[in-house]
Amino acid sequence: MGNVRVADRALGYGMPGVRVDGNDYVACLVTARTAVARARAGDGPTLIEAVTYRLAPHTTSDDPQRYRDEAETARREAEEPLGRLRTVLAARGLWAAKREAEFMAELDEELDAALEVADAMPEPRAVSIVEHVFAEPGPDQLRAMEALDGA
């Protein structure tokens, strides 16, 4: 998982830091439940570093082949969290392909309905991108608000 450990930074803030395989749903669930129980017991926060690998490009205009080995990406696809969880559940008889297909159809319908609502919304004012960012806008925000007002 590399040499840099964000979880180690937690020590400087007086709290535990835990590093977990972010592609392992069960490990993440156990780690999060432990952290929540700790917090509820009054023992404070826990910094959880869930390490994963970004399979997709940063943006639609990004070309990750410029800076990474696609063979590594292909190898990492086997560690993809949903596929791993599906394998764990199937091995325990808790996964059904038919139910997955039904669920995905339900999600598609829900997404389509949400997109219709969003598409029917009026376009936001350009100035809204800088409004309500800070309790008191600073000089940069005031200039941006002035430039965008009416745009």
Using alpha carbons only, give the angle 135, 139, 126 rounded to the nearest 5 degrees. Answer: 75
Instruction: Give the closest residue to 82 by CA, choosing from 28, 1, 6.
Output: 28
Return d(Cα 102, Cα 110) in angstroms, integer: 12
Residue ranges of alpha helices (H) inside the chain are 25-40, 70-77, 81-91, 97-120, 139-148
Spell out the residues 6+ positions from residue 58 whose beta carbon is closer than 8 angstroms to its own. Answer: 64
Whether 53 is catalytic is: no
Q: Give the active site residue among 58, 66, 92, 99.
A: 58
Return d(Cα 8, Cα 39) in angstroms, integer: 19
Whether 13 is catalytic is: no
Whether 132 is catalytic is: no
Q: What are residue 17's DSSP bridge partners?
A: 47
Q: Give the active site residue among 40, 66, 67, 92.
A: 67
Q: Give the active site residue among 33, 54, 125, 143.
A: 54
Give the catalytic positions in this structure.
Answer: 54, 58, 67
